[in-house]
Amino acid sequence: MKEVRVRFAPSPTGPLHIGGVRTALYNYLFAKKNGGKMILRIEDTDQTRFVPGAEDYIVKSLDWCGIKFDESDYVGGEYGPYKQSNRKHLYKQYSDELLEKGCAYIAFDTAEELDKYRKEAEAKKETFIYNCESRKYLRNSLTMSKEEVETLINNGTPYTVRFKIPENREIVMHDLIRGEVHVQTNTLDDKVLFKSDGMPTYHLANIVDDHLMKISHVIRGEEWLPSMPLHVMLYEAFGWEAPQFAHLPLLLKPDGNGKLSKRDGDRLGFPVFPMYWVDPKTGDTASGYKQSGYYPEAFINMLALLGWNPGTEQEIFTMEELIDAFSLDRCSKSGAKFNVEKTKWFNHEWLMRKSEEEVGKDYQAWLKAEKDIDVNLDFAIKVAGLVKDRVNFVKELWDQSFFFFEAPTTYDEVTVKKRWKENSAEMMKTAAEFINGIEDFTAENIDKALNDWITGNELNMGLVMNGLRLMLVGAGKGPHIHEILALLGKEEALKRIDAGVKVLG
């Protein structure tokens, strides 16, 4: 195989959808797996759709995901610049080349004229397309004389350059995921390659840049499949070797009904963007995986399996493992349904695999930011270590551990009704005395001491433990009593028992 060079080529028209992140990911995995290069190219030729901040958002999001580029305007590279607006001067010669070769033509039809044709066709329940039939009567260099064309151009009349789709041909293409794809050229329209504003369209710039940047494989979303015949014919017209193509399956809504769109996310209750986004024009905001508390490892792991499978039962993959296992022939043709619960499950799995230190650090920061609670790192780490396996997100640790940071002021009614017996108060006073006497106040020792005390005195285990839990937590949940006691410390624990007995009596 020749050197693998792949590119992720987003247009900075807004935040990057998770489908786009998956395209970037698969390109990255493919490049790394095959010892190739991953390139970031910004396709910003459509200036009417330019959104300030979008490029920065794309770069930061991919960085958060751990998708690294070997070449881009940010890290450099031999084939730059990597932003199409900075390559503007390059494209006209290629459009001219196609004109000279007779593979393209000049069209003077104005937007208004074309709109008129469209409307007329609609009225007859037909669709107007600029193709091998209509180009024979429209205002272009195929129907006009050379002189007429020259005069119009010299007068500054705006024009576009269109590709002249060959008539009556069957194009046979190969897609690495879909296999052979056949298209009849008469069904295709003569796409604009060069616009009247002096800028190339996506199609021309994309092909020229893929060629100049020596791209070996074009891996992109299924929405570009209809462009593949045009792209293949453009390579042919230039006499260039085409890259290999792979069109990835769509990401579908959770119910499988249609493509997961940019608008779906917050409407369906989960993010569709990697990071939080504020629209610079409208001020509208959209949630992101990062700010929703997802680990990039979990986000990437989830995305990797939406459209690709390893052929084994393995579900949890590090980036290195993904690189190792990835291949295009295990990508599916059919759309992949997004699954919200599974996405949370991935975060849970990754949270469990994180060290207590890392989760503790994040929890310490969360406590400060969300609850204005200052806690030393060592304590946050111990608390996180006790409860982290029970949650999906760091923010959910609070619900499992709030009692480590604030003494109960109320006691859960249902638990009290069920667990607080007539003799509970007496039992708690005796237990407090016993606890006060425990010298070595470590979880392990407390566990043993309490057990020996309860069995040795034939006390009711449930009565003691349920009572203590109510006193310490204020509810019927939480980790083992000896763990709670050890972390709270003797003084705080006794205070809580005393206060609880006074309230519940």
Please tell me whether residue 19 binds ligand GLU under the rule CB under 6 A: no
Q: Convert residues 35-74 into a mask of x (bound to ligand GLU by CB under 6 A) and - (unbound).
A: --------x-------------------------------
Contact, 160 vs 107, CB < 8 A? Answer: yes
Q: Which candidate, 409, 352, 356, 350, places its Cα nearest to that of 383? A: 356
In the complex with ligand GLU, which residue's Cβ is closer, 215 or 427? 215
Helix/strand/coil for 336? strand
Catalytic residue among 262, 354, 395, 495: 262
In the complex with ligand GLU, which residue's Cβ is closer, 17 or 344? 17
In the complex with ligand GLU, which residue's Cβ is closer, 10 or 474? 10
Task: Find the binder of ligand GLU among 4, 5, 6, 11 (CB under 6 A).
Answer: 11
What is the C-alpha separation between 299 and 296, in angstroms, rounded? 5
Contact, 407 vs 503, CB < 8 A? Answer: no
Q: How many residues bind ligand GLU (CB under 6 A)?
A: 8
Contact, 342 vs 270, CB < 8 A? Answer: no
Contact, 251 vs 42, CB < 8 A? Answer: no
Q: Closest distance between ligand GLU and the C-beta of residue 11, in Å?
A: 4
Please tell me whether residue 343 binds ligand GLU under the rule CB under 6 A: no
Q: Closest distance between ligand GLU and the C-beta of residue 62, in Å?
A: 14
What is the C-alpha separation between 499 and 505, in angstroms, rounded? 10
What is the C-alpha separation between 189 and 310, in angstroms, rounded? 39
The residues, ordered by sequence, that sit 6+ positions from 56 with a Cβ below 8 Å of its Cβ are none
The residues, ordered by sequence, that sit 6+ positions from 284 with a Cβ below 8 Å of its Cβ are 278
Q: Closest distance between ligand GLU and the C-beta of residue 356, in Å?
A: 41
What is the C-alpha separation between 409 and 211, in angstroms, rounded? 70
Is residue 78 exposed (0-12), middle (13-18) or buried (19+ Cβ within 10 Å)? exposed
What is the C-alpha separation between 174 and 246, in angstroms, rounded? 9
Task: Find the binder of ligand GLU among 206, 301, 343, 400 (CB under 6 A).
Answer: 206
| Cross-strand partners of 268 | none
In the complex with ligand GLU, which residue's Cβ is closer, 22 or 220? 220
In the complex with ligand GLU, which residue's Cβ is closer, 11 or 141? 11
Please tell me whether residue 345 binds ligand GLU under the rule CB under 6 A: no
8-state DSSP, 388: G
Among the residue ranges 7-15, 180-188, 259-267, 361-369, the one whose residues contact ligand GLU (CB under 6 A): 7-15
Task: Find the binder of ligand GLU among 4, 5, 6, 9 (CB under 6 A).
Answer: 9
Task: Find the binder of ligand GLU among 220, 344, 482, 496 (CB under 6 A).
Answer: 220
Torsion sign over Cα 107, 112, 116, 119: positive
Please tell me whether residue 217 binds ligand GLU under the rule CB under 6 A: no
Among the residue ranges 5-13, 261-269, 324-332, 441-449, the one whose residues contact ligand GLU (CB under 6 A): 5-13
Among the residue ranges 3-11, 129-137, 261-269, 296-304, the one whose residues contact ligand GLU (CB under 6 A): 3-11
Largest CA distance in the chain: 113
Question: Each residue of 442-477: b (16+ CB within 10 Å) or e?
Answer: ebeebbebbeebbeeeebeeebbbbbbbbbbbbbee
Among the residue ranges 9-17, 32-40, 425-433, 477-485, the one whose residues contact ligand GLU (CB under 6 A): 9-17
Residues 117-146 that bind ligand GLU (CB under 6 A): none
Please tell me whether residue 222 binds ligand GLU under the rule CB under 6 A: no
Please tell me whether residue 209 binds ligand GLU under the rule CB under 6 A: no
What is the C-alpha separation between 198 and 158, in angstroms, rounded? 10
Helix/strand/coil for 104? strand
In the complex with ligand GLU, which residue's Cβ is closer, 224 or 402? 224
8-state DSSP, 252: E
214 is catalytic: no
* 76 φψ region: left (φ > 0), alpha (ψ -120 to 50), beta (else): left
8-state DSSP, 215: -
Task: Find the binder of ligand GLU among 224, 235, 276, 402 (CB under 6 A).
Answer: 224
Q: Closest distance between ligand GLU and the C-beta of residue 3, in Å?
A: 19
Q: Closest distance between ligand GLU and the C-beta of residue 202, in Å?
A: 6
In the complex with ligand GLU, which residue's Cβ is closer, 224 or 379? 224
Q: Closest distance between ligand GLU and the C-beta of residue 27, in Å?
A: 9
The CB-side HSE value for 315 (13 A sphere, CA atoms) comes to: 11
Residues that are catalytic: 262
Q: Binding residues for ligand GLU, per CB under 6 A?
A: 9-11, 43, 202, 206, 220, 224
